[in-house]
Amino acid sequence: MTVKIAVTGAAGRMGKILIEAVSLNPNAELSAAIERAESPALGLDAGEQAGLGKNGVLIVDDIQQVINDFDVLIDFTAPAATVANAKACAAAGKKMIIGTTGCTDADKAEIATAAGQSAICMATNFSTGVNLCFKLAKEAAAILGDDYGVEIVEAHHRHKVDAPSGTALSLGEAVAEGHGRQLKEVAVYSREGQVGARTEHEIGFATIRGGDVVGDHTVMYMADGERVEISHKASSRMSFGRGAIRAAVWVAAKDAGLFDMQDVLGFK
């Protein structure tokens, strides 16, 4: 079975990567492309916009125009648009992949409600390598315990608008879970001035922004005399694109429920 894929944000950096990734997966085909109403790409060929040559899929500005043309919508846009698209997909019985970061708890609650009607796979990062790091981060925290203080450092390109990255937060959640705690109880997101000595249980975050860095993440477990690091460096967004299409093919076979990339990879 070939899964019909719609990509929203089709003319953006990640949208173009997703369209290319669809073309590389024999189990998927691009059947719809969506952009914001003011996009200069409206009416243009999505394949040509992605540098692949014409594929006959024209970019539109309203999901309702193409709601019957796809099985799974892939959304790596912005929280407000993602929530609206989740509601539209749920009402039409369409499946969804969400890679949007920066969602609030209220946004996530609305997405979870939509997932009660039709399957959604939501992840802060769809890279297979990063998801392996999530698993390893939890296991390392459980094994090393409180003798090792944990710090998470992430770097991204200058255009990224949220901080820390969604991937860094997911790594923090994995570490906290390995310690049997909630991240919100132990996270430290900034240090400036006389902040005092590091407390026993805190998980610190450091954020770097600049240039064209696709995404670097390192979890450091530090004790007296040694340091253990789990690190992932992305040199191309295609790692996210390939994973998202893999997840789209997987979620197309599900009826309803909220899943993540750990489910897709069988890590749970």
Helix ranges restricted to H, the chain: 13-24, 46-49, 79-92, 105-115, 128-144, 166-179, 183-186, 238-251, 261-264
Q: Pick the catalytic residue: 156, 179, 217, 232?
A: 156
The answer to whether the CB of 150 falls within 8 A of the CB of 188 is: no
Which residues pair with residue 217 across a beta bridge? 154, 232
238-251 and 128-144 helices cross at what angle (nearest 10)? Answer: 90
> Looking only at Cα atoms, what is the longest distance across the chain?
61
Q: Give the number of other CB atoms < 10 A from CB of residue 26.
A: 8
Are the CB atoms for 243 and 99 separated by under 8 Å? no
Confirm whether 156 is a catalytic residue: yes
Of 87, 108, 135, 160, catalytic: 160
Distance CA 148, CA 143 (A): 10
Nearest to 42 by CA among 20, 24, 59, 63: 59
Instruction: List the one residue out of 64, 40, 44, 70 whose CA is nearest residue 55.
Output: 44
Active site residue 160: yes
Which active-site residues does the annotation give? 156, 160
